[in-house]
Amino acid sequence: MGIRAETTDEIKLDTGSNYRQNIPVGVKLIKLNKSFGNNQVLRDLDLEVNPGETLVVIGKTGSGKSVLLRHIIGLEEPDSGEILINGMDVNDPEVRKKHRFAMVFQSSALFNSLTVADNISLYLREHRLFDDESTISQIVSHTLSIVGLEGKENNMPSELSGGMKKRVAIARAIAMNPDLILVDEPTSELDPMMARTIGDAILNLRKHVEVTQIVVTHDIDLAYYIADRIAVLDEGQIIEVGAPQEIDRSTNPLVRKFITTQFEREEGGTRL
C-alpha cells in the first residue's frame, strides 16, 4: 500500500480514481559509464537499492552524484551499462506505465508562474487524475502538512525562502504518489537549522509514504540522519556501501577522508 491507511482515509483516495497505490521499487545499476566529452563522470558504476529503503549517495562535489540521479530518472542516457527497475530496463515503456518516479532538484525547479498549490497539483491536473477540485485541494494540503508548510498554498515561489522551496519541491514529489523519489542535494545552500528541517521532512515522508528514496548529498550529517544505507561515490565509482554505522567504521582511506574532513586552524587545531 502506498500512502498509509490513516492518510488514505483522511484524503479519501478510494474513489475509483487513477491515484493508484504505490509500490516501492528496487533499483539496480550495472556497469554504468557516462562521459561528457573527455570527462568520464561515471565509471563501471554498480549499485543496488532495495525496495522501500532510503539510500544516500555521498561524495565530493563533481564526483557524479547528480549525473547518477539524472540517469535513474531518465534525463540522461548512459554510454554503456544497465539501469534496472524491479529487474526491467528503465527505458522499457512498461516501467513507466507501472511505476512513477519523482525527483526533487537541487534548484527546487518550482514553476515561478504558479502558486505553491498549483506547483504541487500540476502532475494531478495534467494527468487528469481527479475531476473534483476538493480532492486535489486535500492532497495539496496534506502534502504541505507532511513537509511542515501548512497554509502556504497561495504563496508564489518568489515569496518563499530557499528551504521552503525545497520543501515545496518535496511536497510536489509526494503528491505524485511515486514509487521512487530521487532527491538532489536537498541541503545545499541552506543553513544548518534549515538543513535539519529538510532532513526532518525527508524522515517524516517515510512515516506517510512507502517509497524507495535515493538522496545524493555532500552533507555527511544529513546522510547519517536519514539513511538506511550510505553509498560513497568517488571518481564516478561506488567505493563503499553500507549502513551508516558501517560507513562510520570503514577503513577505506577515501571514505575516512570524506567523513572526517573538517575545518581546522593550523596553529591551534581548533574547529572553526
Partner 1 sequence: MNSITAFFYTTGEILQLLMESIFWCKAALSNREKIFRQMLEIGNQTLPVAALISLFIGGVLALQSGPTLAQFGIEENIGGIVGLSFVKELGPVMASVLVAGRIGSAMAAELGSMSVYQEIDALKTMDINPVRFLVMPRFIACFIALPLLVIYMDVIGWFGGAVVSSVNSDINVPFSVYYRNLSELVDFSDVLNGLAKATVFGIIISTVCCYVGLKTKGGPREIGTSVTRAVVLSFILILVFDYFITRLLILLNLD
Does 103 contact partner 1 by CB under 8 A?
yes
Backbone angles phi, psi at 68, to 5 degrees: -60, -45
Residue whose CB is less far from partner 1, 52 or 74:
74
Pick the stretch among 10-18, 22-30, 39-47, 107-115 that binds partner 1 (CB under 8 A). Answer: 107-115
Does 36 contact partner 1 by CB under 8 A?
no
Does 126 contact partner 1 by CB under 8 A?
yes
Least distance in angstroms from the C-beta of 191 to partner 1: 22
Least distance in angstroms from the C-beta of 90 to partner 1: 13
Among 26, 74, 148, 242, binds partner 1 (CB under 8 A): 74
Please give the single-letter amino acid code of residue 187. Answer: T
d(CA 68, CA 29): 10
Q: Tell me, by CB under 8 A, how many residues bind partner 1.
A: 20
> CA Rg, the chain, in Å?
19
Residue whose CB is less far from partner 1, 23 or 259:
23
Write the DSSP symbol of residue 15. T
Cβ 217 vs Cβ 69: under 8 Å: no
Among 123, 156, 194, 206, binds partner 1 (CB under 8 A): 123
Residue whose CB is less far from partner 1, 106 or 135:
106
d(CA 22, CA 180): 9
DSSP 31-78: EEEEEETTEEEEEEEEEEE-TT-EEEEE--TTSSHHHHHHHHHTSS--
Does 105 contact partner 1 by CB under 8 A?
yes
Among 12, 31, 96, 257, binds partner 1 (CB under 8 A): 96
Pick the stretch among 23-31, 57-65, 71-79, 226-234 that binds partner 1 (CB under 8 A). Answer: 71-79
Residue whose CB is less far from partner 1, 80 or 107:
107
Among 102, 233, 247, 255, binds partner 1 (CB under 8 A): 102
Helix (H, G, I), strand (E, B) or coil at 3: strand
Helix (H, G, I), strand (E, B) or coil at 88: strand
110 contact partners, CB below 8 Å, separation of at least 6: 116, 119, 157, 165, 168, 169, 172
* Chain-centre distance for alpha carbon 195: 14
d(CA 181, CA 37): 29
Among 12, 31, 127, 249, binds partner 1 (CB under 8 A): 127
Least distance in angstroms from the C-beta of 75 to partner 1: 6
Does 109 contact partner 1 by CB under 8 A?
yes
Beta partners for residue 39, in sequence order: 36
Does 117 contact partner 1 by CB under 8 A?
no
Residues forming the site for partner 1 (CB under 8 A):
70, 73-75, 96, 101-103, 105-107, 109-112, 122-123, 126-127, 176
